[in-house]
Amino acid sequence: MEDYLLRVYYEDTDAQGVVYYANYLKFFERARTEFLREAGYEQMKLMEKKLIFVVRGLELQLLKPARLDDELLIKTNLIKLGKVSFDFEQIVFLEDHPIAKAIIRCGSLSSETFSPLPLPEYLHNGMKKLLLQ
The residues annotated with a catalytic role in the active site are: 14
Do the Cβ atoms of 100 and 60 come closer than 8 Å? yes
SS3 call for 82: coil
Do the Cβ atoms of 58 and 103 come closer than 8 Å? yes
Contacting residues for 27 by C-beta, under 8 A, at least 6 apart:
6, 72, 74, 92
Q: Which residues pair with 87 in a beta bridge?
A: 80, 105
SS3 call for 10: helix
d(CA 39, CA 123): 6
